[in-house]
Amino acid sequence: MTLTATILIALLKIVVVIVGVVMMAALLTWADRRQSAILQDRLGPSRANIWRFRFWGILHPVADGLKMAFKEDFVPARADRFLHALAPFFAIFPPLLVFSLIPFGDDLRVDLLRQVIPSSGSIVSKFVVPLQVARIDSGILFIIALSSTGILGAVIAGWVSDSRFGIIGAQRGINHLVSYEVALGLTLIAPLVVYGTVDLQQAVLWQKEHLWGFAVQPVALLLYFAAATAETKRTPFDLPEGESEIVAGYFIEHGSFKFGMFFFSEYIEVIVFSGVLVTLFLGGWDLPLLERSGFVVNFPRLGIHWVQGLEHWAVALIQVLTFGVKVVAVAWFNLMIRWTLPRFRYDQLMDLCWRYIVPLAVLNILVTAVIVALL
């Protein structure tokens, strides 16, 4: 593969991933409002329309974006204008970078797209494209490092806004996010011990050959889901914002599109943590009975053997769609959590992290290490 082709493919994957994540996050804002309306027996978003076609309110994300883009960009007189503008970028870019490390399909062999690839044995291909923007050996470690930088957005936004509510929100954000970053990292160690790798693609391949992560690490799945939900700063863990207590928290003085970036970053974080959960615990892009050659059903004891060969492009497309459906399902479940649980008190938030999630995660690591050593 030439250098030019490598650069073009990398740019194409970057564009596809960014557009895909942004579109999924935009639809998630609509789903959030729609689902809350259904749970509360309300009509929900339905006013935005084109030539009287409402499309179930799905045009509201577009209308919201246009509205925020044309609103006044107010900056407090004593605020630092440069940092005031920079803070939303620290909130929205780290999760986008994290998603670039998540594999959304098996390696694509471009020169074999119209062929049926055998399920076993080595494959000779001259043009292999990983369905992953950046594949690095220390994938999950890099994800933890990148996601921890998201705290800078909350800290800077609250500190430079010249508002006591903003400072209180930033202080809450520091305690909240630093605590749950520790918990998040600890919950991921046990499954990585089982997989024997920190490479996300290799973790998916391990699950494809053995069992999905939720079957071998159910405790880690529950702990990770709780910690990751807290990391998104959404109800019931929205203490840094806390509308009923500190108005809007760290971004109280950010309006217009700056507020939109903070608001949108939370939905991107939901998509990202759903992608990591799917990759480590739900088999990633793997679909049961789907092999490289197509669908294979083989149960010798029952006398069942059925094979449906598929060309390589069709197998790759099914894998990408499988990954997308899993991510949407986990994100939808996160929305259910938001609209069914009340907000935690601040002391309850800290107790949940340091008294329950962290000790259980450490205990799970010890038990997992002993079992792996014995087996």
Span 351-372, pLDDT tens digits: 889 999 999 999 999 999 999 9
pLDDT in tens, 59-100: 888 888 788 878 777 777 777 778 878 888 888 888 888 888
Contacts of 145 (CB under 8 A, 6+ apart): none
Burial degree of 50 (CB within 10 A; 0-12, 13-18, 19+): exposed
The more confidently predicted of residues 169 and 354 is 354
Q: Is the distance from CB of 349 to CB of 172 less than 8 angstroms?
A: no
By 3-state DSSP, what share of the chain in percent is helix, strand and coil, each rounded to 5?
A: 65, 5, 30
pLDDT in tens, 180-211: 888 988 999 999 999 988 889 999 999 999 89
- What is d(CA 308, CA 366) in angstroms, rounded to the nearest whole number? 43
Q: Which residues of 280-297 are buried (b: 16+ CB within 10 A; e: fewer)?
A: bbbbbbbbeebbbbbbee
Biggest alpha carbon–alpha carbon distance for the chain: 78
Residue 146 pLDDT level (bands cut at 50, 70, 90): confident
Range 295-313 average pLDDT:
83
- Whether the per-residue pLDDT at 273 is higher than 80: the answer is yes
**Domain residue limits, the chain:** 80-374
For the ranges 121-130, 214-223, 345-354, which has the lowest average pLDDT? 121-130
DSSP secondary structure of 17-62: HHHHHHHHHHHHHHHHHHHHHHHTT---S----BTTB-GGGTTHHH
H or E element in which residue 115 lies: none
Q: In what order do the strands lie in the sheet with 304-309?
A: 290-291, 294-299, 304-309
- Whether the per-residue pLDDT at 243 is higher than 70: the answer is no
Pairing relationship of beta strands 294-299 and 290-291 according to DSSP bridges: antiparallel
- Whether the per-residue pLDDT at 20 is higher than 70: the answer is yes
Q: Name the 3-class secondary structure at 128.
A: strand
Pairing relationship of beta strands 294-299 and 128-129 according to DSSP bridges: unpaired
Nearest CA to 29 out of 44, 16, 47 is that of 44
- What is d(CA 268, CA 92) in angstroms, rounded to the nearest whole number? 8
